[in-house]
Structure 1
Amino acid sequence: MTKKIIFLCVFIVANFNAYAQADKEALKKFMNDRFGMFIHWGPVSLRGTEIGWSRDNQVAVNDYDSLYKEFNPVLFNAEDIVKVAKDAGMKYLTITARHHDGFCLWPSAFTDYDITNTPYKKDIVAALNEACKKADIKFCIYYSVLDWYHPDYPKHSSKEIPLDPKSDMPKYIAYMKNQLKELITNYDPYMLWFDGQWEKPWTDEMGKDIYDYVKELKPSIITNNRLGKEMAGVDNKTTDHTKIIGDYDTPEQVVGKMNMDFPWESCFTICQQWSWKPNDKMKSLDTCISILAKTAGGNGNLLLNVGPMPDGRIEARQIKRLEEIGDWLKTNGQAIYGTLGGPYEPKSTYATTRKDNKVFIHLLETSASTIDLKQLPNRKINKAYVLGGSPVSITPHQENFTLFLPAKQHARTPYVVVLELNGSSENLPIIK
Structure 2
Amino acid sequence: MKQLFTLLVLLSTFYQSKAQTTAISPSIKTSKAVLDDFMDQRFGMFIHWGPVTLRGTEIGWSRGTSVPVQDYDNLYKEFNPVLFNADIWVKTAKDAGMKYLTITSKHHDGFCLWPTKFSDYNIMNSPYKKDIVGELAKACKKYNIKFCVYFTVLDWHDPNYPIHLPDGKNLDPKADIHKFITTMKNQLREIVTQYHPYVLWFDGNWESPWKNEYGADLYTFLKKLDPNVIINNRIGASQGGEHPKLTERIIGDFATPEQKIGELNMNNPWETCMTICQQWAWKPNDKLKTLKECIQTLAKTSGGNGNLLFNVGPMADGRIEQRQINRLKEMGDWLANYGESIYGTKGGPYKPNEVFATTRKNNKLYVHIFDQKSADVILPALHGVKVNQAYLLKGSKINYSQNTDGSIVLRLPEHLPNADDSVIVLELNINSDNL
Q: TM-score, normalised by structure 2?
A: 0.91
Residue of structure 2 in register with 1:156 after alignment = 164
Runs (5+) with no aligned partner, structure 1: 1-15
Residue of structure 2 in register with 1:23 after alignment = 31
Counterpart-to-counterpart distance in 2, 1:52 and 1:77? 24
Counterpart-to-counterpart distance in 2, 1:300 and 1:376? 22
Counterpart-to-counterpart distance in 2, 1:212 and 1:157? 29
Counterpart-to-counterpart distance in 2, 1:387 and 1:315? 32
Runs (5+) with no aligned partner, structure 2: 1-24
Offset at residue 381 of structure 1 (A): 0.7
Residue of structure 2 in register with 1:369 after alignment = 375
Larger CA deviation: 410-419 vs 113-122:
410-419
Alignment partner for residue 105 of structure 2, among 97, 101, 104?
Answer: 97
Q: Tell whether 2:306 aligns with 1:295.
A: no
Alignment partner for residue 275 of structure 2, among 264, 269, 273?
Answer: 269
Cα 1:295–1:422 change in 2 (3 A) is same
Among the aligned pairs, what percent are the same residue? 57
Alignment partner for residue 415 of structure 1, among 422, 428, 434?
Answer: 422
Offset at residue 236 of structure 1 (A): 7.5
Alignment partner for residue 388 of structure 2, among 362, 382, 385?
Answer: 382
Larger CA deviation: 159-168 vs 49-58:
159-168
Alignment partner for residue 312 of structure 2, among 306, 309, 314?
Answer: 306
- Asked if 2 retains the 8 angstrom alpha-carbon contact of 1:232 and 1:251, the reply is no
Residue of structure 1 in register with 2:119 after alignment = 111
Offset at residue 181 of structure 1 (A): 0.2
Q: Tell whether 2:432 aligns with 1:425.
A: yes
- Asked if 1 retains the 8 angstrom alpha-carbon contact of 2:370 and 2:419, the reply is no
Q: Which amino acid aligns with 2:186?
A: N
Residue of structure 2 in register with 1:244 after alignment = 250
The C-alpha deviation readout for 1:285-330, integer Å capped at 9, x for no partner, is 1101111111111111000000000011100000000000000001
Offset at residue 379 of structure 1 (A): 2.0
- Asked if 2 retains the 8 angstrom alpha-carbon contact of 1:40 and 1:96, the reply is yes
Counterpart-to-counterpart distance in 1, 2:374 and 2:383? 25
Counterpart-to-counterpart distance in 1, 2:240 and 2:43? 19
Residue of structure 2 in register with 1:315 after alignment = 321
Counterpart-to-counterpart distance in 1, 2:236 and 2:290? 34
Aligned residue pairs total 410
Residue of structure 1 in register with 2:6 after alignment = none
Residue of structure 2 in register with 1:171 after alignment = 179
Q: Tell whether 2:404 aligns with 1:404.
A: no
Counterpart-to-counterpart distance in 2, 1:267 and 1:203? 24
Q: Which amino acid aligns with 2:122?
A: D
Residue of structure 2 in register with 1:256 after alignment = 262
Cα 1:17–1:244 change in 2 (3 A) is closer
Aligned residue for 1:102, secondary structure, equals: coil
Offset at residue 229 of structure 1 (A): 3.0
The C-alpha deviation readout for 1:343-398, integer Å capped at 9, x for no partner, is 11111211100000000001111454210111232122111111122211002212
Counterpart-to-counterpart distance in 2, 1:340 and 1:231? 30
Counterpart-to-counterpart distance in 2, 1:119 and 1:149? 20
Alignment partner for residue 213 of structure 1, among 209, 218, 221?
Answer: 221
Cα 1:368–1:38 change in 2 (3 A) is farther
Aligned residue for 2:325, secondary structure, equals: helix
Counterpart-to-counterpart distance in 1, 2:235 and 2:243? 17
The C-alpha deviation readout for 1:157-199, integer Å capped at 9, x for no partner, is 0014310010001100000000000100110001100000000
Offset at residue 59 of structure 1 (A): 0.3
Offset at residue 240 of structure 1 (A): 5.7
Q: Which amino acid aligns with 2:303?
A: G
Larger CA deviation: 405-414 vs 126-135:
405-414
Counterpart-to-counterpart distance in 2, 1:285 and 1:125? 29
Alignment partner for residue 90 of structure 2, among 71, 82, 86?
Answer: 82
- Asked if 2 retains the 8 angstrom alpha-carbon contact of 1:23 and 1:222, the reply is no
Offset at residue 412 of structure 1 (A): 1.5
Counterpart-to-counterpart distance in 2, 1:256 and 1:18? 28
Residue of structure 2 in register with 1:48 after alignment = 56
Aligned residue for 2:31, secondary structure, equals: helix
The C-alpha deviation readout for 1:399-430, integer Å capped at 9, x for no partner, is 212111111218812111100012201111xx
Residue of structure 1 in register with 2:149 after alignment = 141
Counterpart-to-counterpart distance in 1, 2:228 and 2:378? 44
Q: Which amino acid aligns with 1:221?
A: V
Cα 1:248–1:39 change in 2 (3 A) is same
Cα 1:357–1:244 change in 2 (3 A) is same
Counterpart-to-counterpart distance in 1, 2:312 and 2:167? 26
- Asked if 2 retains the 8 angstrom alpha-carbon contact of 1:19 and 1:220, the reply is no
Q: TM-score, normalised by structure 1?
A: 0.92
